[in-house]
Amino acid sequence: MAVMSIADALKSAIAEEMRRDPTVFCIGEDEDIPGGMGGAFTVTKGLADEFGANVRSADDKGFGGTPVPIGEARVINTPIAEIMISGVCVGAAMAGMRPVADLQYGDFLFCMMDQLVNQAAKMRYMSNGQVSVPMVMRAPCGATNRGAQHAQSLESYFTHVPGLKVICPSTAYDAKGMMKQAIRDNNPVLVFEHKLLYGGSRKEAGQLSSAGEVPEGDYTVPFGKAAIRREGKDVTIVANLLMWYRTMEAAEELEKEGISCEIIDPRSLVPFDYDTVLASLEKTGKLMIVHEDHYNCGWGAQLGSYVAENAITLLDAPIVRLGATDTPTPFSPPLEQFVIPSTQRIIEGARKLARL
């Protein structure tokens, strides 16, 4: 075992898969250039040293990493052109490669919508399985005082699209295992990574310590299997990414009041592990869903609908949902804190639900 940040766990997974499979390559803005960060959050920093990059160093004496011909570089730095990145990924994946793309901010997925939704998601179906699109799109998400165009949590846009898999690892162990699983998957996978959970060398205001033990050998974490982060008997709370950390904080406080919360981290949104949620509701009878995505039509609405349609008799009280308010994320830190679910709001919501 080794203790890693999420950023380092993701890097370890990508490097191991590139060594294992020569069809895997990285592509994105500032993936690994001299003096660069390795993407916006240091995940790909140093990969060019082993796998070669397509960007020359400032003194023009070689490439950013191992000096190899441009066409053989496996760390590909691009212009600021997200629509190009997605187009290259779809085409390369259809041709037998396995691209791992890095967006500086997940908000720029909107620049890629035609390639992701109309091309990557549909090609396997339209070709009757003759064409696969094994690509991974990494998307940093979450509010970190960067304003409305660099702060969104966009998971629900893509859970709606048949043909895409959507995952959201929130521990170092899951980050490595799920990334390896994503790279090996023959379908397009979107990986949402919260900016405040990366760790690594880039420091963010409000950053949490998410470092944890990660096996040094090869392993994968399957999609569609949720993790029970805390067992309880009074209220079931389902929360992902940063929100399950805040939910765990809330559960500690609620425990002092005699309220026992069971915390479930879904880890993957498509496929989704409904069975674990229903099994928990058999104990608690009460469901609360917390996500940073907007309240209106967030992935929590789908989960609530599923429970209401398939297991409403398990419920002893109405379902409670917490999400970001339905407004663009403000730049002002106090306003941002008001919009995004806080630990205190989770405590208040769970307390009210437990007493019903």
Catalogue the E-assigned strands of the chain. Answer: 2-4, 24-28, 75-77, 98-102, 136-141, 165-167, 189-194, 212-214, 227-230, 235-239, 261-265, 268-270, 287-294, 320-324
**Packing angle, helices 242-256 and 343-354, rounded to 10:** 50
3-class secondary-structure state, position 198 = coil
Residue among 184, 191, 323 at smallest CA distance from 270: 191
Residue among 213, 255, 209 at smallest CA distance from 231: 255
CA distance 167 to 174: 10
Q: Which of 150, 194, 291, 294 is catalytic?
A: 150
194 tagged catalytic: no
Structure tokens at 295: 């309240």
Q: How large is the C-alpha radius of gyration of the chain?
A: 21
What are the residues whose beta carbons fall under 8 Å from the beta carbon of 16, sequence distance 6 or more? 180, 218
Element (H, E) at 279: helix 274-284
Give catalytic residues, as residue numbers: 150
